[in-house]
Structure formats: C-alpha cells, structure tokens
Chains A and B, each alone.
Chain A
Amino acid sequence: MRRHLYLLALAIHFYFVVAIAWLDVFSLLIRGVSWFPSSLEKVWSGAGEATAAALGQSLDNSNAIRQTLTTYFHCAGIDGGYGFFAPAVPSGAKLVFELHYADGHVEYELPQVNGHAAGVRLTTLLGYIGTTDYEQLREVMIKMLAYRVWQEHPSAKTIRAVLGSISQPTASEAARGSSESYTFIGAYDFNFQPEPNASPVP
C-alpha cells in the first residue's frame, strides 16, 4: 500500500516536472528563436496554452487549485524550466547612473555589490530590467537602484539612469578589433533631494 502511494506521488510529481519543462520549450519556440519556421508559431502557442492549462495556469490567479499547484511548484523548485543559456546566451543590460551636482559637474556610477556571488545575481537582475515588458515596473526597479546610489552621494542634485542592452561582437568581429556596443533602451531622471519638511522616499 505504501509503495502505491509512493508511486502515485512520483507520477504526479514527474507529470508536473515534465509539463513545466515542455512549457519552457514552447515558450521558447513561440519567440521564434529556433530552427523551426515562424509559420509554426501558432502551433507552439496552442501547445503552450494546452500545457499551461494542464498545469492549472489558465485558471484565475486567485483560484485555490492554481494557488496550491503554484505553491507546490515553487516549494519543490520545479517552477521553471531547465534552459540555462538556451537556445542562446541572452544579451545583457547595462545601467549607468549620471550624478549631476549643483556646481554642474557630472560623475558616473554603476550598480555596486560587495561580492562576486552577488555580482552574478546583479547580472540576472539587470537582464530582467532590460527585457521586462512592464515599463512601470522597470522604472520602479531603476528608481530603487538609483536611490541606493544617491544614498552614497547625497549631495547629487539629480540622477539620470541610462539603460542599454549590450550587443556583444561575434568571434570574427572581435578578431577584427570590434568591441561590445550598446543599444539605448531608456533614460530616467530622479531627484531625491528632500523637499522642505519632507523625508525622501524612493
């Protein structure tokens, strides 16, 4: 009897594991970054929707079944696929802060962390900021990072954050002396100087 329970649990668990992995595959194919012709994107889209439905992800966000399943996926560490650096290594993003002072001079800062491990995580964050479709969320995140820089340089009058995606040269371009270039995504101006009788809030 106990073996039956183990097997049932295993079957359900691996159904989720494999379905989520396929969902990852379909989401990639929908983006048209594979060998397959773009005419098949509708097929992948349909397959992705069916897989999402089979995982309860087409239910309303507040639905108890969806909430339970999603909680289980996160707790078991199976909430994402396994396409690390696949099918291509994504372009990174770069965020530069221009610190403008009252006397007119400008300094430049990059987001800073203390250790290499946090640096790798910062790269993930910048990649997310560079690719998210939610402009408001992007601005909020950049504002938080800018505020942290302002705390280090409280005399700066305004901070302009310039976000760009990094375009790496190919190997043959690099052999010819080309280096990485940047594609402008957006610029954001912030003023954290406290108003009279008010404390700065990012």
Chain B
Amino acid sequence: MLRPFPDCLKKFWRAAEEFLFAPSSDVWLSILRVVLGVQIILYCLSLRRDWNEVFASTPQGFLSRDLMEGILNVHSHFVPRLGWLISIGGYLGLSEQRVLGLCWITLLIAGGALLVGLFCRAAAVLAWLLYLAAVKSGSLLTYGVDNMTTIGLFYLALAPLPDRFSIDHKLRAQRTQDRHRLGFFRRVLQLHLCVVYFFGGLLKCLGPGWWNGNSMWRALTRPPFDILPMDFILSARAWLPAIGITVWILELGYPIFIWPRRTRAIWLTSILLMHIGIGLALGLYLFASIMIGLNLAAFGPGLILDRQEIQDAT
C-alpha cells in the first residue's frame, strides 16, 4: 500500500536532483566574478569623496557611524561592521580616518583581484566581508543595490572558484572540474533571481500606481531621479500606464518565462532593456549594472554567451 508514495518521492527526488545539479560550464561564474569585481570598483570610486565622511563617527561624520551601528545592534550584535575594524586599528594605534582609508583601498583591491581573477577565493571572501561591513555601518544610507550586491558576493564566496578565465587558473592551473557543483551554484543564483523578480512584480501589481502610470511618473520626476526633462516626460505621459504595466508583467512573469528556451531570449533581453532604462532614465547606474550582471551570469551562458554550453545542451 505504501509503495507508490516512495516511488513518487523517488521520482520527485530524481527530477529535483537532475534540475539542481544539471552540469554547467564555469562561464557563468566568470561573468559573476567579473561583474562583482566591476561593481565593487564602481562602488568604491563612486563614494571616494564621501567615504570617510559617510563612515566616520561623531563629530566628523555625515551621520554618525556609531548611531547606524547602534541601530544595527538592535537587530544583531554579530553582523560584520566597520566599527570592529576601527576598534582593532585603535589597538594598533591607527586613527579612525586611517582605518577607513585602508578599508576603502582594500575593498578596491579586492574588487580588482576579482576582476582579473587573482586569488579568487580570498578576494571573494574579503570583498564580501568588507562590502557587508560598509553597507551595515551605513545602514540608513543603503538601497536595493546593496542588497543585490551582497547576495551576489555571498554566492560568489561560496561558489567553486576559480574559473577558467581567471589568472589563478592560468598561473596555477587551479580549476574545479565538477560541472554538477558548478551547475548547482548557478541554479541557486537563478532561483534567487526568480524570487526577486516575482515578489518585485507582485508588490508592484498590488497597488494602483503601477497600473495607472502614477508610479512611473513619480519615479521619473522625483529628485534625484529626475534626469529626463520634464517636458519630455509630459509629452510621453500617455505611455506611462503601458510602461508601468509592462514592468510588473516582466517581473511577475520572470520565473515562468525565463526557463523555457523558446521564451528565455526574449524575456532576458526585455529584462536587460528594462534595467538599462532604469539606469539611464533614473540615474541608478549601480543598481542597473548589478541587475544586468546578475542576469547575464545566471541566464546568459547557454543562450548568448557560451557556445560550448549550447552545443552540450543540444
């Protein structure tokens, strides 16, 4: 009587295993590494003139780091933060400004190491920890880009590095050969993006703003995102409801249409165009670049970027 159930379970288990451990090349990992390296470098460079002021404690700082880390303490005492490094620096006789400068330089170097693939694992872990510490020590100044970059760095630090395009591989012939493990980590990233877009789309379609064009209007005209001329937006306002609806349909449909090979190209291209639009029209360049990079890493290989993988699949 009980036999069919275990058989069903076995079938499900086998299907899940085949899906989650589908063999993959390491091209996606190369893309993820390079994208995150560039992202870290851009993050550092974009904040270079404000870094010390953003993260300094009272009274030199923009908003006290002590206050933001105090708020973080309400949630957890164990989340990495710059205050820990500054305390260690204090024991070594280094001033706060000096430690903050060292953190900036180290993060920039970690980003550069990721970009070229030198000491991949150490660079990925270091970049993740320092970026996390910076984001959490400036928790009141963060937005979506920081969450998405942290997610990417978390997965990169765990993924089977180095990849074939890294300097590590060229110099020391280090490279993982386990294509199933590579496939597993790629699936994790793919599934996470599906969750991100599904809930992003769901939340948008739950309110009237993304149906009647009001949210598109507000996004495009709200400082500091008001890059496009007001006259241009006004002349195109009849299109705003359609654009708003297209945005949430693209996001809500992502977990469905990104998987079949027939619809993947069109959906991925549409999502990439949407993020290019967000970057150019709202000036959210870092957010656009991380989302484009994560999408290319997750779903690009096998479609447009890795001929070997296409051959393997066919």
Residues of A within 8 A of B (CB): 3, 6-7, 10, 13-14, 17-18, 21-22, 24-25, 28-29, 33-36, 61, 67-68, 70-71, 74-89, 92, 113-125, 128, 140-141, 144-145, 147-148, 151, 166, 168, 170-172, 174-175, 200-202
Question: Across the interface, which residues of A come within 8 angstroms of B147, CB to CB?
Answer: 77-80
| CB proximity to A under 8 Å, residues B74-90 | 74-80
Contacting residues, chain B, for A171 (C-beta < 8 A):
213-214, 217, 233-234, 237, 240
B63 lies within 8 A of A77 (CB): no
B199 touches A25 (CB 8 A): yes
Q: Are A115 and B46 in contact (CB under 8 A)?
A: yes
Which one, A7, A87, A144, contacts B209 given CB within 8 A?
A87
Contact across chains for B154 and A76 when beta carbons are under 8 A apart: yes
A–B Cβ pairs within 8 angstroms, 27 of them: A3-B21, A7-B20, A10-B184, A14-B191, A24-B199, A25-B206, A67-B78, A71-B76, A77-B153, A82-B196, A82-B199, A86-B206, A87-B204, A87-B210, A88-B207, A115-B46, A115-B49, A117-B286, A118-B46, A118-B47, A124-B143, A141-B67, A168-B217, A168-B222, A174-B221, A174-B230, A201-B58
A35 vs B67: C-alpha distance in the bound complex, in angstroms?
37
Q: For the complex, would chain B's binding face be called helix, strand, loop or mixed by DSSP majority?
A: helix
Verify B76–A89 contact, CB threshold 8 A: no
Q: Given B50, B64, B205, B234, which contacts A144 in the complex, CB threshold below 8 Å?
A: B64
Q: Whole-angstrom distance between the alpha carbons of A92 and B200 in the complex?
A: 20
Q: List CB contacts (< 8 Å) of B167-206 with chain A.
A: 181, 184, 188, 191-192, 195-197, 199-200, 202-206
- Across-interface contacts of B61 in A (CB, < 8 A): 144, 148
Cα of A77 to Cα of B135 in the assembled complex, Å: 10
User: Are B195 and A74 in contact, CB atoms less than 8 angstroms apart?
Assistant: no
Q: Which residue of A lies closest to B287 (CB)?
A: A84
Q: Please indicate the chain A residues that have their CB under 8 angstroms from the CB of B53 in the complex.
A: 113
B223 at the interface (CB under 8 A from A): yes
Cα of A171 to Cα of B76 in the assembled complex, Å: 43
Q: Which A residues are in CB contact (< 8 Å) with B50?
A: 113-115, 117-118
Contact status A28-B148, CB under 8 Å: no
Distance between Cα atoms of A76 and B208 in the complex (Å): 32
Residue B219 CB within 8 A of the other chain: yes
A82-B196, A89-B215 given as contacts; is B75 within 8 A of A77 (CB)? no
Of listed A147, A148, A171, residue having the most chain B CB within 10 A: A171
For the complex, what is the distance from the CA of A29 to the CA of B199, rounded to whole Å?
13
Contact A128 B209, CB 8 Å, known A83-B203, A118-B50, A141-B67: no
